[in-house]
Amino acid sequence: MEKEIKREFMGKAISLASSNVLSHQGGPFGAVVVKNGEIIGRGSNQVTASNDPTAHAEIVAIRDAARHLDSFDLSGCEIYSSCEPCPMCLGAIYWSHVDKLYYAATKDDAASADFDDSFIYKEFALPKEERSIPSVQMMREDAVKVFEEWVKSDSKIPY
């Protein structure tokens, strides 16, 4: 029974991906966030439709779920993605505190459809000075003062 329910959620994520392709709204990716057996967040890739390079299906679904729960903490939730998440989406999944990730297609399947993230994974492993986008540190002392203010603040909301 539980396996059938999980297949239903994954089917919804895949259906969102397929609908997105057919409607020409974005790439072939869909995701749903589930809590207590109910879909609370839905997303399909909206990168080209919104001109937002961060509008991947998982990000859109996480944002939808966070609005639904009125919380940035998605503990107790699961995310179902039509494809293995890219590095950005995987980071967002960790930051959201989702309990479990289910995915259908692999990153290699995505790469064969011209959605290849291997370059990004390789870049992360390189020292900063060897990456293709120059990374220049500046004004560290000023920025560290802001962290010190945060640590001392009585009104901060940890996450």
Active-site positions? 58
| CA distance to 9, 80, 89, 131, per residue, from 42 (Å) | 11, 10, 14, 34
- Are 33 and 78 contacting, i.e. CB atoms less than 8 angstroms apart? yes
Which is it for strands 77-83 and 100-105: parallel, antiparallel or unpaired? parallel
How far, in Å, CA of 31 to CA of 67, rounded? 16
DSSP annotation of 71? S
Helix (H, G, I), strand (E, B) or coil at 43: strand
